[in-house]
Structure 1
């Protein structure tokens, strides 16, 4: 049996936070004059291409990571702390309280997000979540290449990332008497279906329909005040 008998997993963008963290990271860099203002436009173009099915998640990852590909790790770390301080003012108290309620109950907590680790780490610190499963950026010689290491933490691969993380600690999902996953998107259905307690948070239309059909809890603006 698991050392902690309950597991709480959280998606990040539009679930714990009411915005796109990748875009906010790029805007943060633009405001500091660290990157050209055109990076946000290119990112939004990539988002539209992804939504339309014209490109994969790799293009979004590259749009976020490539602008700092030739930046020293120490500088990126400084920006990460500054970004954390700015974003801490924008995180909803309701989702901070949601995560805290699981932590206080002794549940094992993790953020499971498609977002690159580079951007997601500041939010894991803000929420006080000790485990972060994210898309891993590839580095060569200490420099970010814009590519992804292994599979992106996306769709069905979120399940793989969770299983691999738990296996490293000698655990499996079935070891937990209860397991939650909070998400806003139908793309997360593989992991939502793998836990005992799936929760839809301000869901997209497809996820809302599935949640209503299966009787899953649906949290909206009255429950998670964005």
Structure 2
């Protein structure tokens, strides 16, 4: 069975779920509004430039998970899916996943966004495996810290290799990887079938120079 791997934000959905979650928390007044929004925007701009300090960002992004009760978080998560993520849904992305599914491929999302935010999105997309940045938990509550290696840039390659070590039947299989972001260049260069999806300017230039397919899921 071959492996079809997808980035999530701005690839399978028409926006960035991590940044949108921060905006959602501001709107619901669960964080210090103006200060949090400015920091959220600054980190997102760093990400778009490929210059994000992932550990500084995770310290910022995971802190609200530790400050809000688990029950409140679950309610917010449900409302976020209904009010925000539903507006970012891309039918063509579901069709592409379906094409790979019909070919018998194992479907994986690999994303830098933390599991709490993306797990219900991955469930709705019906993927087989989700590799995401893992927020640390202790006695049923989030601690505000990251567990293990962030699933970002070269960390995506590391996390995929760790998964392949645990699932060796896929190690020698062909792999597709779909992404919009220059941050995913390390993993794109690892797979047999890299595909740029509605790519940022830097990834578009890389894809053109390397002869990689460039597709859109937003047309």
Q: TM-score, normalised by structure 1?
A: 0.85
Unaligned runs of 5+ in 1: none
**Structure 2: stretches of 5+ with no match in the other structure:** none
Q: Aligned-pair distance for 1:85? A: 2.3
Q: Does the 8 Å contact 1:11/1:181 carry over to 2? A: yes
Matched, 1:32 2:28: yes
Give 1:189's aligned residue. Answer: 185
1:225 equivalent in alignment to 2:204: no
What is the CA–CA distance in structure 2 between the aligned matches of 1:53 and 1:217, rounded to whole Å?
A: 21
| Cα distance in 1, alignment partners of residues 192 and 51 from structure 2 | 34
Alignment match, 1:133: 131
Distance 1:183 1:138, change over 3 A: same
Paired residue for 1:42?
39
Q: Deviations over 1:159-179 (max 9, x none)?
A: 1111212222333432x1x21
How many angstroms apart in 1 are the aligned matches of 2:51 and 2:125?
34
Q: Distance in 2 between matches of 1:63 and 1:128?
A: 29
**Separation in 1 of the partners of 2:30 and 2:189?**
41
Q: Secondary structure at the match of 2:56?
A: helix
1:185–1:204 CA contact under 8 A, matched in 2: yes
Q: Does 1:73 align with 2:66?
A: no
Contact 1:12–1:113 under 8 Å retained in 2: yes
Question: Which segments of structure 1 move beyond 6 Å, counting only runs of 4 or more?
Answer: none
Q: Which moved more, 1:5-14 or 1:52-61?
A: 52-61
Shift of 1:133: 0.4
Match of 1:84 in 2: 81
Assess, with a 3 A threshold, how the Cα gap between structure 1 residues 49 and 214 changes in structure 2: closer, same or farther.
Answer: closer
Residues in 2 aligned to 1:153 and 1:10: alpha-carbon distance in whole angstroms:
13
Q: Judge conservation of contact 2:8–2:109 (CA < 8 Å) in 1.
A: yes
Normalised by the length of structure 2, the TM-score is 0.88
Cα drift, residue 14 of structure 1: 1.5
The number of residue pairs the alignment matches comes to 217
Distance 1:168 1:91, change over 3 A: same
Per the alignment, residue 151 of structure 2 pairs with: 153
CA contact (8 A) 2:15 2:88 kept: no
Please list the CA deviations of residues 79-117 of structure 1 after superposition, one character each: whole Å capped at 9, or x if unmatched. 222222231242111112112222232210111011111
CA contact (8 A) 1:47 1:60 kept: no
